[in-house]
A and B are shown apart, each in its own frame.
Chain A
Amino acid sequence: MVANNYHEEEALGKVYDARLMKRLLTYLRPYRVAVVSAAFMLLVVSLLQVAVPHLMKIAIDDYIGKNDLDGLTNIGLLFAAVLVAGAAVRYGQTYLTIWLGQKVLHDIRQQVFAHLQRMNLAFYDKNPVGRLVTRVTSDVNTLNEIFSSGVVAIIGDLFTLALIVGVLLHYNWRLALITFTVVPLLVAVTFVFRAKVRNVYREVRARVAHINAFLQEHVTGIKVVQLFNQEDSAFRKFDEINLSLRAAHFRSIYYYAMFFPTVEIISTLAIGLVLYFGGFRIESGLMTFGELVAFITLVEMFYRPIRDLSEKYNILQASMASSERIFNLLDTSSTIVSPTSPCKLEHCTGRIEIENLWFAYNNDDWVLKDVSFSVEPGQKIAIVGATGAGKSSLISLFYRFYDYQRGSIRLDGIELKQMAIDSLRSHLALVLQDVFIFSGDIAGNVRLRDDDISDDQVREALHRVGFDRFLRRFEDDIGSEVRERGATMSTGQKQLLSFARALAHDPDILMLDEATSSVDTETETLIQSALERLFEGRTSIIVAHRLSTIEKADRILVLHHGELRESGTHRELMRQQGIYHKLYRLQSRKQAVRIGKD
């Protein structure tokens, strides 16, 4: 999964993509008022910023120049007031911008997560979990920069620049124009720098991805490397990549090393021009000292945003790539959805009819071929067959985890595809072969996040599957901590817990994919009696491996290479001496090998 990401990252999008930007901005729509207020505050900040040199000019020309100490005190106080006001407004503006950015991220994060919850299983089969997690977490966070320092800051910078230009022209348009003569030079330098840096940045990214891919591959395959004595040749290969990365970095250092001093020289050139030509104007009385000081300060302010440019550029590029990945995910929609006007099933008896069912994960690779059977309410059906016969696939079709291509499955006479998915699943409970335990506590694993299930109901369910004997060993009863994937529990405990989960949700129909892993005899007895409780009074469909489960079933269906080959009770099928007969003997052999008691 990691390697995948890195390869993906190699393909870099554009730095600025108007289409993506437009879509990103739609997320600001609910916060129009905040956006407008932030922008307004930003204007005020810019104004106050430019006011500082202007106040200096007044102080120098009108008071210091005219030896007016009282006036100087007054202007000093005004100066202080402007500073405090400026700081206050800037604080408000920054905070509001951060609020805005985080709010939007919160919205996008939720949207992406909710979207993932709606995706069908085929999607999960194709996309590694790690990659999806990255979309919800890191990728969303990367967007932060666009909202908090990108959009708003750029608007602010532009406004400040415009304001400075205006004030300079106002003070002395001739001198201002002389100062601006260096601007084309600056634009040219920046333009060249941008082009060079963009290429080298791409190169660096590609080589970093290369290094990551190498590491990922060689860490995963370390045994092979060592067993075949290839440590040295692997290192030589790595050294090549490492060298090429260093070379790319060197190029990038070179451009940055050229750019920053060049901008500084240009800005000194501008100040030199101001001083020299400004000096002439003072000589001839066309300009005051204060104006000259203000001019110099403003010209310095003029260059600041330009220096930040390269930084913002990198940030913007990363954000664009992330937003593209997020939008791609959001634009992929689930292929399995509820019908627009679903049939309602108020009371479910648990009658199931399957007719000429065909199913394939891909194209014509049929996993189930023309399967038909029906189940009466309250019946217990065992599905048996060798590995790959299509048993688990059949179960997932009931849940509409996947959609079947031909034929039909009907629940109480209603075709599954006609029902709302949510309402369909509310009648079923699934126990998977590979029990999934969430980190949290025991109760949480029984009720999941369904708060309608009370603590007492949780306890009752645990009691009925016989889990309470283990419960005593845990410290905090049903509130005892359970670690990710149930790391602290035995296989048997995990299975019982998943039975309790199914019981607590009290389904009309139970679907069980029996685990094949072996447990000790004591736990085996527990599991068998828990299973009886589970099957009690409800239609049950079991992908069965235990002989005991199989023998007690009302009917056994034998799937073989995707086809329903035999069906009947244990006795009938044994008499037939067909596939079931063989399977049964195989199963008893396996059980014998596994338990090891002969």
Chain B
Amino acid sequence: MNANESKTTFSRFSTVTKYLGRYRWYLVVGVLAVIGANGLMLVPPYLTKLIFDRLETGSPMSEVGLLVLAMIGLSIASGICRFTIRRTIIWMSRHLEYDIRGELVAHLLKLSPSFYDKNRTGDIMARATNDLEAVRMMIGPAMMHIANTLVVATGALTMMAMLSPRLTLYALIPALVFPISMNKLGNMIHRRFLKIQEHFAHLTAVCQENLSGVRVVKAYRQEDHEIENFADLSEHYFKLNLSLGRLHAAFYPLFQLVATSLMLVVLYVGGRDVIRGEIELGTVVAFFLYLGMLTWPLIAIGWVVSLYQRGTVSLDRINQILNTTSDIPTGCAEPKSDEKSVRGKVEFRDLNFAYDEAPILNDLSLTVEPGQTLGIVGLTGSGKTTLVALLARLYPVARDQLFVDDIDINDWDINALRRRIGFTAQEPFLFSATVADNIRFGRADASIDEVAQVAQLAALAKDVDEFPDRYETMVGERGITLSGGQKQRVAIARAAMIEPTILILDDATSSVDTETEYEINQRINAHAEQLTTFIVSHRVSSVKDADQIIFLEDGRIIEQGNHEVLITLGRRYADLYRAQVLAEQLESL
């Protein structure tokens, strides 16, 4: 995930703490409510003791009644506090989740394509959802439980010590086993759990591979062997789960054993003291109740520890994204050009580019005058797409190598430049929205007439007329499926919508038939005469009429000139042209 150089490194928790200030009142009230709720809960056991004492001495029932009423009153007050805890602390955690998710997505939207090339979509999504949830659990519920535990433990222990220091001491001896054994058990569970996760990942990978290679599996009749192999993996997974199960199974009984043995100690020691007349029965009963209050917070400690562990790991994963910066400078302090007056002159000067180590473009020099059309042809991997991607600033370019209107591309305000560039790719990405919304993606305020106008330009209007809701038809998964050619034409319309000065068609008509393609080119040229156009194509027919054509190989221009010149040259371009003429003839047979 270290896609780009990280320049600012936040300390781990600053992602969270910088928002905490906003919610300080939630925090203050929340903590007060925790203290209130638990403090109030400490009283009823004592009241129970008083009731028992009264009953033993035979005091009037009205006193008992009052005590009972006090108990219920306290419970209501404590209930209100508990409501407040959730309403403040958990509430705050949802606020923080919203804030951090917003920050994360805003940041993601600004990261350059090289980040997305290196990170899988699923992984990025997991960080914005699952990891964020783990962080929230750490801020919200874990915080609530830890506060609870602290208050209850101190309160209950104080009350117990006040009632009978000796009995408290006895009760605490088995209680000491708790943190120690739980911690040890917790560690063991954690280790086994990791093993299970690892094996699960393996099992998933095997399954994924098997299903992706299903043709080979079937052709070589490996189904039964695959099933057997999978059964072994599943069996191993079963055994690993059982080994964890043995611990899980021990967890609860062990906990209960310790908890109830506390009661046993109190019952025995306390009972003896009652017989000797040293304490009252009510004290013993109150002790039971306090012990009951202590058990939950003790388990919660283990839980909180694991929430904390998971939370910090997830927080680190989120910080990794937040600490990644875009490798493309967003622009200069003072724009050197008014975007309205962009002419569309593009110049490459000894351009060199490499994604990682492997060079993609080498010493490429070329000038495209305003209003000119450049055709770029070459084999797959020759650097055609990279060349135009650099112009659209999808990847960083070194200084003094690429100029637009004689200004270094790095000095352009990135948004101003992009507003002047219309870009379409071979496999255009459409959003699951209406046809109209896809077309006016770059200009949300465009009217439906304007949309229809550019659709006409892109030779899409006739297709749209046949869609069920015309321009309001949804595309994608929840709507109609467009053909490859239709998608490409929507993308061309989308690019034309922003009335660019520079139009880049990156193999944008590969699925459109030659006649329609010609039509589109004619219309676009007629519509915008001063349009500088870059056409990347596998098809010679797309670039035939260009003012200038370059043939790229291994990132170098090996042939350059217009169609006639290159045909006369009789080399690679001419070969390609003849092959395509033949293919067309074949098609028509």
Contacts and interface: CB of A to CB of B under 8 A. Distances in A.
A289 B285 CA distance: 10
The residue in A63, A117, A227 that gathers the most chain B C-beta atoms within 10 A of its C-beta is A227
A2 interface: yes
A420 B124 CA distance: 46
Interface stretch (B100-108, B341-349, B355-363, B404-412): B100-108
Contacts of A271: 71
Contact of B288 (A215, A235, A293): A293
A181 B287 CA distance: 28
Contact of A399 (B95, B218, B234, B585): B218
Tier of interface size on chain B? 35 or more
Nearest to A262: B79
Given A124-B214, A132-B211, A216 B82 contact: no
B557 to A, nearest CB: 15
A590 B423 CA distance: 29
B222 interface: yes
A396 B533 CA distance: 43
The 5 A-B pairs of least Cβ separation, nearest first, read A261-B79, A449-B225, A589-B579, A98-B245, A257-B86
A109 B102 CA distance: 38
Contact of B246 (A95, A133, A239, A425): A95
A217 B253 contact: no
Contacts of A124: 211, 214
Contact of B571 (A2, A213, A598): A598
Tier of interface size on chain A? 35 or more
Interface string A268-292: 1101100110011011000001000
A106 interface: yes
Given A87-B256, A91-B250, A228-B441, A268 B75 contact: yes
A88 interface: yes
B524 interface: no
A254 B87 contact: yes
A141 B240 CA distance: 14
A449 B229 contact: yes
Contacts of A268: 44, 71-72, 75
A193 interface: no
Interface stretch (B9-17, B57-65, B301-309, B367-375): B57-65
A103 B108 CA distance: 43
B222 A448 contact: yes
Contact of A76 (B116, B207, B264, B582): B264
A2 B268 CA distance: 60
Given A223-B429, A589-B578, A265 B218 contact: no
B242 interface: yes
A63 B229 CA distance: 64
A253 interface: yes
B216 A582 contact: no
B25 interface: no
Q: Is the interface of A mostly helix, strand, loop or mixed?
A: helix
Contacts of A67: 275
B208 interface: yes
Nearest to B48: A275
Contacts of A76: 264, 267-268, 271
A227 B421 CA distance: 8
Interface of B: 44, 48, 51-52, 54-56, 58, 61, 64-65, 67-69, 71-72, 75-76, 78-80, 82-83, 85-87, 90-91, 94-95, 97-98, 101-102, 105-106, 108-113, 116, 121-122, 124-125, 128-129, 200, 203-205, 207-223, 225-231, 234-235, 237-238, 241-242, 245-246, 248-250, 252-254, 256-257, 260-261, 263-264, 267-268, 271-272, 274-275, 281, 284-285, 288, 292, 379, 392, 394, 415, 418-419, 421, 423, 425, 428-429, 431-432, 441-442, 444, 477-478, 494, 498, 553, 571-572, 575-576, 578-579, 582-583, 585-587, 589
Contacts of A300: 292
Interface string A55-81: 010011001110111001100100110
Interface string A1-25: 0111001000000000000000000
A221 interface: yes
Contact of B575 (A60, A239, A438, A592): A592
B64 A94 contact: no
